[in-house]
A and B are shown apart, each in its own frame.
Chain A
Amino acid sequence: MAYSDKVVDHYNNPRNVGSLSKEDPNVGTGLVGAPECGDVMKLQMKINPDTKIIEEAKFKTFGCGSAIASSSLATEWVKGRTVEEALSIKNTDIVRELSLPPVKIHCSVLAEDAIKAAIGDWKKKHGVEVPVAEKASH
């Protein structure tokens, strides 16, 4: 399978790889996917409680090149945005940006899920009610 230049670029130079402290009250952690499915993404964001701006984003991904690229791109996109803006990122935006083929669309879905899960975790830490199972549309 041929990969798009952007996928290759993110794979070779993944942005924002790493971990933030899960214990930090301002850090939201999203862990989505499953090892037996071949994809696990961990996305973490440090969110300013006053401005609701995502000041820091880190990821680690077990998965194919497209999964790595999708999560790397997600960290780039959420950084500097508000929580609301980050929540508006759709998997289709990621598909378009990375030119993902149909068989790799689930990678983008997982990245969207990871954003939502991380923000959900942060909201929970701050006592905000989160509707259960906010899942990306496929």
Chain B
Amino acid sequence: MAVKLPIYMDNHATTPVDPRVVEAMLPYFTEKFGNAASRNHSFGWAGEEAVENARAQVALLIGATPKEIIFTSGATESDNLMIKGVAEMYREKGNHIITQAIEHKAVLDTCKRLEKYGYEVTYLPVQRDGRVDPEDVRKAITPKTILITIMYANNEIGIINPMTEIGKIAKEHGIIFAVDGVQAVGKIPVDVQKDNIDLLAISGHKIYGPKGVGALYVRRRNPRVQLSAIIDGGGHERGMRSGTLNVTGIIGLGKACEIAQQEMPEESKRMRALRDRLRAGLEAKLDEVYINGSIEHRLPNNLNMSFAYVEGESLLMGINDVAVSSGSACTSATLEPSYVLKALGVGEDLAHTSIRFGLGRFNTEEEVDYVTDKMVQVVTKLRELSPLYEMAKEGIDISKMKWQTA
């Protein structure tokens, strides 16, 4: 069977909206367009009711109660709010924050900004497999520590951090535990009670919901977490996030969470099977390919591989009917190779050769096979073109050569 091109396999960047989600949203653009904050007419009530339903759907997915969910414009805002909100609220208690090297920029850059305002931030290194060592977290705690913020799963390499262990350490020390859950929520079971998570950032568009909507879980009991708002105004979302609610977006996020909850057991199995098929196919036909990050503790839909001696952007160019992404410098705005791979200790030469495959709900076996064949074909062609591959085959150790660097 011929596959339909182009193939989308970049589901860590974004996902298509599930048609069932679109269907749930549609009436709220036209007929039921009310402002959820309008308390005195039926248009407002309809909006409010739908928002409260969505709140319950999000809460259910992560083991929270509806009142603990507030809606935002997306996970970047949620990350900003949870970190800045805690930093300001608990300033009297301390000024130290613990995070780690391969967080998303929404967390890292927020922490960097706080450093300018007198906060101290510890950026923990990660282990070779990309995961944080919980003991490192424990050792970094000082009497001034007010926040530990560690991502659930990484967006580039898909590794899953030891959340239960880290949550336990945070709890023991009475420190707030804030988690960027963007890649994990909806893909693997996430339970804020089990992992002692106090704040959890969620995105709509990574889980087949719409862009421009996200949520933040804010623990209300044991302990009750308070946040300073970063957006002031009409006092929506219990004062933590002012601004008229994005009713359609919120309904979409809620529906996406409901679907994820119901289909996760089956879907995660299917993702894993597709990912393993892709990996096996590539490893069977290509030598010198390396998986970046832990295999065992990994999202079922992620594969991040380095294809030695072949630069990532040229690889993407060769598979231009397949949408994936690369850790190569040439594909980033900064001309630096992936800071995530660098933190893992992946050599810069191999970082330039990495490709991230993000499988999703709508990918098929046929697509995986097409991508495998295409990758093999292009890598083989580019290796024929690569002076490094030639040198390696001649037995020259590239890492020991003296290169003329700019």
Stretch touching chain A among B55-63, B173-181, B328-336: B328-336
Determine if A60 is an interface residue (Cβ-Cβ < 8 Å): yes
Stretch touching chain B among A46-54, A61-69, A88-96: A61-69
Q: How far is the CB of A64 from chain B (nearest CB, A)?
A: 4
User: A35-B348, A38-B337, A38-B352 known; A62 and B404 CB under 8 Å?
Assistant: no
> Which interface residue of B311, B318, B389 has the most chain A CB atoms within 10 A?
B311
A65 touches which of B309, B314, B398 (Cβ 8 Å): B314
Contact A60 B390 (CB under 8 A): yes
Contact A65 B313 (CB under 8 A): yes
Determine if B344 is an interface residue (Cβ-Cβ < 8 Å): no
How many of chain A's residues touch chain B, expressed as a range? 20 to 34
Contact A34 B403 (CB under 8 A): yes
Q: How far is the CB of B290 from chain A (nearest CB, A)?
A: 15
B311 touches which of A3, A60, A62 (Cβ 8 Å): A62
A64 touches which of B311, B385, B398 (Cβ 8 Å): B311
Q: How far is the CA of A4 from the CA of B297 in the complex (A)?
A: 42
Contact A103 B335 (CB under 8 A): yes
Determine if B347 is an interface residue (Cβ-Cβ < 8 Å): yes
Determine if B310 is an interface residue (Cβ-Cβ < 8 Å): yes
Contact B406 A106 (CB under 8 A): yes
> Which interface residue of B329, B337, B387 has the most chain A CB atoms within 10 A?
B387
Nearest residue, chain A, Cβ from B390: A60
Determine if A79 is an interface residue (Cβ-Cβ < 8 Å): no
Contact B313 A42 (CB under 8 A): no
Determine if B384 is an interface residue (Cβ-Cβ < 8 Å): yes
Determine if B386 is an interface residue (Cβ-Cβ < 8 Å): yes
A61 contacts which chain B residues (CB < 8 A)?
Answer: 385-387
Q: How far is the CB of A74 from chain B (nearest CB, A)?
A: 14
User: A60-B385, A60-B387, A61-B387 known; A35 and B403 CB under 8 Å?
Assistant: yes
A80 contacts which chain B residues (CB < 8 A)?
Answer: none
> Which interface residue of B317, B318, B329, B398 has the most chain A CB atoms within 10 A?
B317
Determine if A41 is an interface residue (Cβ-Cβ < 8 Å): yes
Q: How far is the CA of A61 from the CA of B390 in the complex (A)?
A: 10
Q: How far is the CA of A8 from the CA of B329 in the complex (A)?
A: 20
Determine if B349 is an interface residue (Cβ-Cβ < 8 Å): yes
Determine if A31 is an interface residue (Cβ-Cβ < 8 Å): yes
Q: How far is the CA of A69 from the CA of B389 in the complex (A)?
A: 19
Contact B390 A64 (CB under 8 A): no
B317 touches which of A19, A40, A65 (Cβ 8 Å): A65
Per the 8 Å Cβ criterion, residues 75-133 of B in contact with A are none
B311 contacts which chain A residues (CB < 8 A)?
Answer: 38-39, 62-64, 67
A32 contacts which chain B residues (CB < 8 A)?
Answer: 404
Residue-wise, chain B 285-318 has the 8 Å CB interface mask toward A (1 for contact) of 0000000000000000000000001111110011
Q: How far is the CA of A33 from the CA of B389 in the complex (A)?
A: 15
Determine if B405 is an interface residue (Cβ-Cβ < 8 Å): yes
Q: How far is the CB of A119 from chain B (nearest CB, A)?
A: 16
Q: How far is the CA of A35 from the CA of B389 in the complex (A)?
A: 11
Contact A17 B385 (CB under 8 A): yes
Residue-wise, chain A 22-39 has the 8 Å CB interface mask toward B (1 for contact) of 000000000111111111
Q: How far is the CA of A113 from the CA of B406 in the complex (A)?
A: 11
B317 contacts which chain A residues (CB < 8 A)?
Answer: 3, 8, 11, 64-65
Contact B335 A34 (CB under 8 A): no
Determine if B22 is an interface residue (Cβ-Cβ < 8 Å): no
Q: How far is the CB of B52 from chain A (nearest CB, A)?
A: 44
B337 contacts which chain A residues (CB < 8 A)?
Answer: 38
Per the 8 Å Cβ criterion, residues 354-397 of B in contact with A are 384-390
Q: How far is the CA of A106 from the CA of B309 in the complex (A)?
A: 20
A31 contacts which chain B residues (CB < 8 A)?
Answer: 387
B385 touches which of A35, A37, A38, A68 (Cβ 8 Å): A68
A-B CB contact pairs (8 Å), 14 listed = A33-B403, A35-B403, A36-B352, A38-B311, A38-B313, A41-B387, A60-B387, A60-B390, A62-B385, A62-B389, A63-B314, A64-B311, A64-B313, A64-B330
Residues of B within 8 A of A (CB): 309-314, 317-318, 328-330, 335, 337, 347-349, 352, 384-390, 398, 403-406
Known: A35-B348, A60-B390. 5 other contacts (CB 8 A): A35-B349, A62-B310, A63-B311, A64-B328, A65-B314
Residues of A within 8 A of B (CB): 3, 8, 11, 14, 17, 19, 31-42, 60-65, 67-68, 103, 106, 113
